[in-house]
A and B are shown apart, each in its own frame.
Chain A
């Protein structure tokens, strides 16, 4: 029983990173109604760029500086993805955009493999020696940090979306791009801003994943892409609170089945969870009646 609670708890804490990736997918989908498959790769790429900070001052660069580097680099990569895959491809050909993001995913993956010679890199962690105890249950300090930073990012994002002019513009474009343009909102600029914002979130998510796993490897991108997409769908397309809850849910379920059924079968149950949602709640966790899209 205790193992059960412990493993679910660890999973939920790690699930915060899935939630961040899911938010990235869902935000881009909400604003542009397009899928950015390069997102998880760009996030891991951002985390790698964070390591460059550590390379500038070897041994002395604190972990938070690496995280901050990843955060900024993620935003820059988000803008690059926007330019290469969305800016110049006509809106009417969604398949071309989809394929271009796949090309970008492969490109980012290969650049990482090329630069690091295909070897996984160690990632600095913070608070990895801290253990919080609540009775018999322990909370790993690094996982707790992942959770707290993710929550801070999510709150920041929600504040940005609902308290600033840029957020108002973003929501306007996601509801009615044509009407928003008629009101004088520069749609291309809002789209670019969305990519930068999701990129920033992705960079920090990549860094947190690197920190909690301990190493960073390009092999992370595919599972992250799949998990992020599943989180997006379970949470409901375009729904940010849905993505947060779904991320934590997927993290918890994944860790639970890893304990009971082993690591090779783990993801099978996550897929089953997705199908349960697709059949019974196709609009996502917080759907009101019929889902969108």
Chain B
């Protein structure tokens, strides 16, 4: 059973990562920096609990805050550029963060062992959960409580004026600007919210894996973060969740019996799904049909 709890933890953290890209994508911006924000959150939370002895929840809040601050700081210069240049700028930022942690040493002796991040070897012994006697089930429930809270917040955002403005900017910048929407403020705020969510995802990730290193936050993770909302569709937050379950649950875990061939099928299925459903698995039509089925 622990295996399924572990899988649910992975799905939860990846959902958060996908949602952090989702809110940025709503404004029409393609950001490959989410893995960088996740790395910042992961190292912050882990250093606070392991080195400073903080409790988990304030540490997660700190990583959300730092993720948001960095995202806001990146957002201002990066969002001056658009389209493809933004993709490359955010990609370079994400890689820069990864390379920073690749060269980052900060070790403290604790109970005879030296703990803390150590360059290429990464950050070992993030033992908050075992030390405080959390079971896998409890960790999973904790992660999913946060996922549910974030999803509820974003779902509510979508129904608020703010969500409408986000989508307006994403649909047509010029039209949005001409009805008096401040593009810069909207884009940077979306980036900031995305950074905060990615920071929390990083903090959770660091604690359930107990060992983080720079390769955990490479371009592949950044593209996955972007892939979830695109494969799932931007019509609703549930698209991202559906895509994470599809990718992590079905493509990665479900096809494990295929051995080596699974990886081959993985790329091919993404290509196929984009050809067949260019607006995502759960696009607006599918969502409308689903609503009718549920009798709304």
A226 in the interface, Cβ–Cβ < 8 Å? yes
> Is A119's beta carbon under 8 Å from chain B?
no
Q: Given that A95-B30, A110-B266 are contacting pairs, would A265 and B99 also be in contact in the complex, using a CB cutoff of 8 Å?
A: yes
Is B271 within 8 A of A104, CB to CB?
yes
Residues of chain B from 49 to 70 with CB closer than 8 A to chain A in the complex: none
Q: How far is the CB of A269 from chain B (nearest CB, A)?
A: 10
Task: Write out, one digit per residue, whether chain A residues 105-130 have a CB within 8 A of any chain B CB (1) or not (0).
Answer: 11111110110000000000000000
Contacts of A233 in B (CB 8 A): 84-85, 88-89
Q: Looking across the interface, which residue of chain A has its beta carbon closest to that of B25?
A: A95
Number of A-B contacts (CB under 8 A): 127
Within 8 A of B (CB), among A8-46: 29, 35
B270 is an interface residue with CB less than 8 A from chain A: yes
| Contact B89 A275, beta carbon cutoff 8 Å | yes
Tell which of B153-161, B195-203, B272-280 binds the partner. Answer: B272-280
Question: Is A232 interfacial (CB-CB < 8 Å)?
Answer: yes
- Tell me if A96 and B278 are in contact (CB < 8 A): yes
Closest chain A residue to B93, Cβ basis: A271
A78-115 interface bits toward B, Cβ cutoff 8 Å, 1 = contact, 0 = none: 00000011001110010111111011111111110110
Binding site for A on B (CB under 8 A): 25, 30, 77-78, 80-85, 87-89, 91-93, 95-96, 99-100, 102-103, 119-120, 218-220, 223, 226-227, 230-231, 260, 263-264, 266-271, 274-275, 278-279
Q: Contact between B270 and A99 (Cβ–Cβ < 8 Å)?
A: yes
The 8 closest A-B CB pairs, nearest first, are A107-B267, A103-B270, A106-B267, A96-B278, A100-B274, A103-B271, A93-B278, A271-B96
Q: Is the interface of B mostly helix, strand, loop or mixed?
A: helix
- Assess whether A237 is interfacial by the CB under 8 Å rule: yes
Q: For B266, what are the chain A residues with a Cβ–Cβ distance below 8 Å?
A: 103, 106-107, 110
- The A interface, classified by DSSP as helix, strand, loop or mixed, is helix
User: Using Cβ atoms and an 8 Å threshold, which residues of chain B touch A230?
Assistant: 88, 92
Contact A274 B219 (CB under 8 A): no
19 pairs of residues in contact across A and B, judged by CB atoms under 8 Å: A100-B271, A102-B223, A103-B271, A106-B263, A106-B267, A114-B264, A229-B88, A229-B91, A233-B89, A237-B84, A264-B99, A264-B120, A267-B95, A268-B99, A271-B92, A275-B77, A278-B77, A278-B85, A293-B84
With A89-B278, A264-B120 known as contacts, the answer to whether A271 contacts B83 (CB < 8 A) is: no
A174-212: contact bitstring with B at CB < 8 Å (1 yes, 0 no)? 000000000000000000000000000000000000000
B93 / chain A contacts, CB cutoff of 8 Å: 271
**Pairwise interchain contact B274-A222, C-beta atoms closer than 8 A:** no
Q: Which residues of A contact B263 (CB under 8 A)?
A: 106, 110, 113-114
Residue of B nearest to A222 (CB): B219
A2 within 8 A of B: no
B contact residues around A271 at 8 Å (CB) = 92-93, 95-96, 99
In chain B, what residue has the closest Cβ to A34? B84
A242 at the interface (CB under 8 A from B): no
A114 touches B91 (CB 8 A): no
| B30 / chain A contacts, CB cutoff of 8 Å | 95, 98
In the complex, A282 has a CB within 8 A of chain B: yes
Known: A233-B85, A282-B81. A88 touches B275 (CB 8 A): yes
A57 contacts partner chain B, Cβ-Cβ < 8 Å: no
Interface string of A214-230 (1 = CB under 8 A from B): 00000000100110011
B242 to chain A, nearest CB (A): 15
**Closest CB in chain A relative to B27 CB, distance in Å:** 13
Q: Which residues of the partner chain A approach B89 to less than 8 Å between Cβ atoms?
A: 233, 274-275, 278
For A99, the chain B residues whose CB sits under 8 A away are 226-227, 230-231, 270, 274
| Distance in angstroms between the alpha carbons of A85 and B30 in the assembled complex | 18
